Amino acid sequence: MKTKKDFFNTQSDLTACKIMFYRYYLQNYLAKVLMQFGRCFIADFFCGPGKNGSNDGSPLVLLECASNMLNSPVLKKKWPSAEIVILFSDKEKTAIDNLKSILNTRISAANIKILGPFCETFQGVVKKTANDYQKIKEPKFFFLDPFGYSDVRINDIKVLMGCPASEVLLFLPTFHSYRFHKIANGISALKMFLDEFTNRGCADYVDIDDFNESIRQKLLLHIGLEYVRAIKLDDGKCKNALFYLTKHITGMLIMNDLAWKYAQDGVSVKSKNNNELTLFDLSTTSGNYTSIKQSFIDYLKHEKQVSNVDIISFVAKNCFTTEYARGILRELKKSNKIDIEYLDKSKTKGFYVANNHWKNKLAVIKYRIEIK
């Protein structure tokens, strides 16, 4: 197993894949929240030294995304004094010293306010941060990238998600814990992790996807959320995961779109191909797509009639996309299995199942009763 020193000397394929998702989500997140609120708060609690070999780590990627967004003419026109408040912390003094040294040589946008970098344990900084942010209404995004699976407790995440308008992107080295889950009773830290983070503990799991889903279900239930997504990062030998938690449907829809863009089955991203999108969309041939498609059709049959808003909610919670849902609805419409009633009489076609219509009830989709 790599030591922390070895880990930061180079950037592995898995780390590059993780950073890619972090970057792409930040770009979408910052554009969305800053245009609406003019200010947001971001914390990187396991920030590291800023570099993985010659490659930028999460702190420098964040600063790049923040600077680009704050320099946007569109944002400046609406919010001339837009601001991003960033907190960096890590328990490793060497990492903090390295990051401070890099930050001292870089010029960031004037409206980026940096807190730290602080040399503190996650347990030491998390409750203080949550207390400070409790009365702040603007959006908050917390990135948790611990080196080991036991560095973060599930109640720490619950505390952060208790802040208004908060989101968490959590990396977990799930492959290691999955590989040894059958002997977890003899490894106290692993047993504690399984008991805390899965809904089945030291049980048998079908595969790593089943294991990650068990974690996702525990996060949904324990924290009391509607939206949690798992993204498996796969380099062939190792298969770790990102878990995205949010209280707002728009964030989930954005992350779902990203996941399906870079994972052919909407679940597993092959790290060695993370920048090589194929010319053909193969996702609709995957088992996961087929399973969700059937669940979607079963949902329509059971409910008999649902609004476009109901469908968008179903899509978000089931880690699907509105684009794919529209495609399935077109198939059903073509085969005369559904009818559409427009609530706005100026509307005459379409399903209005799109990310931007999540709160606009414009149409009702009715599943025709099948006569046997």
Count Cβ atoms below 10 Å from residue 277 Cβ, excluding itself: 11
Residue-level pLDDT at 372: 56
Range of the domain at 288: 283-367
Q: Is 8 helix (H, G, I), strand (E, B) or coil?
A: helix
Q: Are residues 242 and 362 in the same domain?
A: no
Pair (208, 300) in one structural domain: no
Rounded CA gap, 292 and 303, in Å? 16
The domain total for the chain is: 2
Tell me if the pTM is above 0.95.
no
Q: Which of 219, 244, 273 is the last residue of a domain?
A: 273
The residue from 223, 250, 273 where one domain ends is 273
Q: How many CA atoms lie within 13 A of 136 on its CB side?
A: 18
Q: Quick one: 301 and 221 in the same domain? A: no
Helix (H) or strand (E) holding 78: helix 73-78
CA separation for the pair 222, 142 (Å, rounded) = 18
* 164: CATH: 3.40.50.150
**Is 20 in the same domain as 102?**
yes
Rounded distance, CA 284 to CA 278, Å? 13
Within-domain flag for 296 = yes
* Same domain for 332 and 230: no
Let me know whether 228 and 314 are in one domain. no
Distance CA 255, CA 253 (A): 6
Residue 209: predicted pLDDT: 93
Residue 205 and residue 340 in one domain: no
Give me the residue label for tokens 């294991």: 211
pLDDT of residue 272: 65
Residue 32 tokens, joined:
């969305």
Last residue of a domain, one of 244, 273, 302: 273
361 and 265, same domain (yes or no): no
DSSP run (H or E) holding 299: helix 287-303
Quote the pLDDT of residue 10.
61
pLDDT digits (tens, 9 = 90+) for 251-304: 999 999 999 999 889 999 887 655 454 545 678 889 999 999 999 999 999 999
pLDDT score of 122: 94
Please give the pLDDT value at position 346.
87
Same domain for 232 and 305, yes or no, is no
- Tell me the C-alpha distance between 106 and 100, whole Å: 10
The pLDDT assigned to 8 comes to 47
Residue 372 lies in a domain: no
Q: What is the pLDDT of residue 39?
A: 98
Which strands make up the sheet holding 305-307, listed edge to edge?
A: 305-307, 363-367, 338-342
Residue 160 counted as domain residue? yes
Q: Are residues 147 and 187 in the same domain?
A: yes
Q: Which residues of the chain have pLDDT under 50?
A: 1-8, 275, 277, 279
Residue 314 lies in a domain: yes
Where is 179: in which H helix or E strand? helix 174-179
Write the DSSP symbol of residue 193.
H
User: Is residue 40 located within the same domain as residue 160?
Assistant: yes
Question: Does a structural domain hold residue 146?
Answer: yes
Shared domain for 259 and 300, answered yes or no, is: no
Alpha-carbon Rg for the chain, nearest whole angstrom, is: 22
